[in-house]
Amino acid sequence: MNTLILQEEIQQFLDRNAEQSPAKIALKKSPFEGISPSELATQLDGKQRASTKIPLWANTPGIYFPPKLNLEQCSSEKTALFKSTLINEGTHLVDVTSGFGVDSFYFSKRAAQVTACELNPELAAISKHNAAVLAADNLHVIAANGVDYILNDATKRFDYIYLDPSRRVQNKKVFLLDECEPNLVRLQDDFFRHSDSIISKLAPLLDITSALQQLRYVKDVYVLSLQNDCKELIFVQEIGYEGEAAIHAVRLFHGQQQVVSFTYESERAVVNEYSEPLSYLYEPDVALSKAGAFKTIGQLFDVKKLHKNTHLYTSDKQIENFPGKTFVIKQVESFSDFKKNKQSMQAGIIAKNFPLKTAEIKKKFKIRDGGNSFLFFTTTVNDQFSVIHTQRILE
């Protein structure tokens, strides 16, 4: 890291150019000796990216930003803050793959001590500097291979081992759990000799059922969504735990938090009611869909499904706290009638359990995006292809 960037005049320059394009800054001659245009651009780009993802870093003077890839891979403030609630206060946690250190920082707000291991010495130096700027005195960053740091000393014990395995190996994206580095499947028994609890942040594309078969002692699985975008899967393993894992769909939205918890056994036992579209239509948040709470939703919120394989729900009275989007139903027609009566219109298109995809529907019927009206192309009871005209109720 180039510490010259931390000088007051350079920081003021970055503040004055906060709205400038980093690409343009990179093409101009640097006004500062010892600092390249690309270094200035990296800092400006980092501050801009951090403004929404990790605003504490963006708004704290003296923060040093890493290259773009490290910022893309780090957790957001909101998901990191949630994960910090999964540990007890006054504990010692080791972060095996700390990266830019956002998770480590928020864990340090609850833990007595956090040891953050980062293999890249440059990134470790940046994280160490930022920890000092943020006054995280109990966060100790070391430039080391986190796996070696834990396993090379048989006497080391931690209350929690936390890791975020890399989904990019040899510059290629990987998706299977045992292809990521470090390989949690292979290392879990070794880790359990140093801690009773392992918390791992895994890819949102990962198949939960498959991971449950590969990982031992899984007590909890958290599916985190932020503004209806599935961000992370969090697996909590506790040595000796033999029960069924609890699945928690966690919806973070507009500064609020909503959690729906269930088990796959309880989900299988639910018997849903089905109905034609009534007065209101509900589209579950992506966290619930990824978690697989399809039947549980109907039971918990007293709504009826449109079809066994259509994960949309309906009710006569509005459900105020439904974990997802709510729409008022204006009209319901068969798809065949819609085709006969087709006309130029402007609406959002949502296709669920329907033979045509959203893009195909837009092109075929020349429907323009926009407004607060939405058309649901879906399959309803009696295997009827239907078009449901709705208007969204904003939260």
Give Cα separations from 315 to 33, 108, 281, 303 (angstroms): 67, 45, 7, 5
pLDDT of 117? 97
Q: Do residues 67 and 2 touch, judged by C-beta distance below 8 A?
A: no
Q: How far apart are alpha carbons 395 and 181 in whole angstroms?
A: 40
Element (H, E) at 24: helix 22-27
Secondary structure (H, E, C), 259-320: EEEECHHHHHHCCCCECCCCCEEEEECHHHHHHCCHHHHHHHHCCEEEECCEEEEEECCCCC
Task: Assign domain 3-65 one CATH number from 1.10.3470.10, 1.10.10.1110, 3.30.70.141, 3.40.190.10.
Answer: 1.10.10.1110
Neighbours of 243 (CB within 10 A): 9
pLDDT at 290: 96
| Domain residue spans of the chain | 3-65, 72-243, 270-393
CA dist., res. 204 & res. 395, Å (int): 25
Tell me which architecture the domain covering 270-393 has in CATH.
Answer: 2-Layer Sandwich (3.30)
Q: pLDDT, tens digit, for every residue of 47-101?
A: 999 999 999 999 999 999 999 999 998 999 999 999 999 999 999 999 999 999 9
For residues 53 and 61, give the distance between their C-alpha atoms in angstroms, rounded to a whole number. Answer: 17
Q: What is the dihedral of CA 159, 136, 235, 154, to 10 degrees?
A: -40
First to last CA, the chain: 44
Return the pLDDT at 166. Answer: 86
Mean pLDDT, 10 residues at a time, the chain of 395 residues: 90 89 90 90 93 94 92 93 97 96 97 96 96 97 96 95 85 80 95 97 93 97 95 97 96 93 96 96 97 95 95 96 95 94 86 95 89 93 95 88
Q: Smallest Cα–Cα separation from 282: which of 266, 293, 298? A: 298
- Distance from CA of residue 93 to its chain's centroid? 22
If residue 331 lies in a helix (H) or strand (E), which one and from where to where? strand 324-334
Render pLDDT for 159-187 as a digit per residue (tens, 0 to 9): 999 999 987 766 677 778 988 899 999 99
Q: Are 201 and 103 in contact (CB under 8 A)?
A: yes
Identify the DSSP state of 205.
T
Helix or strand (DSSP H, E) at 231 = strand 229-238
Give me the pLDDT at residue 113, please: 97
Give pTM, 2 decimals: 0.93
Q: Which residue has the tokens 């939205």?
A: 253
Which among 154, 216, 225, 211 has a CA at the least distance from the CA of 187? 216
CATH of 72-243, one of 2.40.30.10, 3.20.20.70, 3.40.50.150, 3.90.79.10: 3.40.50.150
pLDDT recorded at residue 319: 95
Main-chain phi, psi angles of 243, to 5 degrees: -80, 180
Comparing C-alpha atoms, which of 97, 31, 94, 101 is closest to residue 65?
101
Q: Identify the pLDDT of residue 170.
A: 66
Structure token pair of residue 300: 């918990």
Over its C-alpha atoms, the chain yields an Rg (Å, rounded) of 25
